[in-house]
Amino acid sequence: MTGGVALGDLERDALTEIVNIGVSRAASNLRKMIGDHVILSVPSIDVVSQRRAARLITEREAADLIAVRQDFTGPFSGRALLIFPEANSLQLVRAVTQGELSPEEVIEIEHEALAETGNVILNSCLATMANLLKSSLAMTIPEVLRGSGAMLFEVDETSPSDGLVLFLYIDFAVRRLDIRGYIAMIMDLPALEMLRALLDDFIARVVGDDA
């Protein structure tokens, strides 16, 4: 951990809680889309280097990955990713189209269906977080990426290499359909400072004078 950017205990609790609510909303939407129970892990939150963030995913997933990526900007900015093993992709598309399409159509619609699924999941998560923090975020149109963990967390060429990021991830699984993956979020450090201020406001609102 780096002292200057570390969150305090209460701030970390507040962020975990906000992420939990956001991701639960996202999971409930995924459930509506596929008609099956979605299991979530407790969010894991760390300040790490961008490379370390990539390794955290790569170490757990040797196989090629697919990710839907949405960048968000506002009082805090960063990138949200819905990540799963590439082998799960068509299974997920079949699940969200709920038997409406032929196998050929499933393949044809794969890319677009993944983008839309990511859109619903990531948007609902980010929007819920924005509402709880009483701020507003602009989000890009979802983009589907394929590749290794290192590629998904590619450092922006124009930014100083391997900067520290707030890295946050949650496992999700749909057991019956053998689908699993992660929701990950990375935020850069100026964004983190702003996030800390918003978390402090949030804590003051929910805790009131007892803080």
Partner 1 sequence: MPVNVLIVDDSKLARIVAGKALAALQPDWTKVEAGGGAQALDVVDQTPVDLALIDYNMNEMDGLELAGELRTRFPDMPIAIITANIQDEIVVRARAIGAAFVAKPVTSDGLEGFLSGAALRLRAARS
Q: Name the burial class of residue 134, with classes exposed (0-12), middle (13-18) and buried (19+) by CB atoms within 10 angstroms of its CB.
A: exposed
Least distance in Å: CB of 26 to partner 1?
A: 8
Q: Based on CB atoms, which residue is closest to partner 1, 26 or 199?
A: 26
Q: Is residue 88 at the binding interface for partner 1, with CB under 8 A as the rule? A: no
| Residues in 143-182 that interact with partner 1 by CB under 8 A | none
Q: Rounded to an integer, what distance in angstroms lies between the CA atom of residue 191 and that of residue 99?
A: 42
What mask of x and - would describe binding to partner 1 in positions 32 to 61, judged by CB under 8 A? xx----------------------------
Q: Is residue 100 at the binding interface for partner 1, with CB under 8 A as the rule? A: yes
Stretch that binds partner 1, among 8-16, 82-90, 129-137, 150-158 (CB under 8 A): 129-137
Q: Is residue 96 at the binding interface for partner 1, with CB under 8 A as the rule? A: yes
Contacting partner 1 (CB under 8 A), which of 119, 155, 201, 203? 119
Q: Is residue 89 at the binding interface for partner 1, with CB under 8 A as the rule? A: no
Q: Which residues bind partner 1 (CB under 8 A)?
A: 29, 32-33, 96-97, 100, 109, 112-113, 115-117, 119-121, 123-124, 126-128, 130-131, 136-137, 139, 141
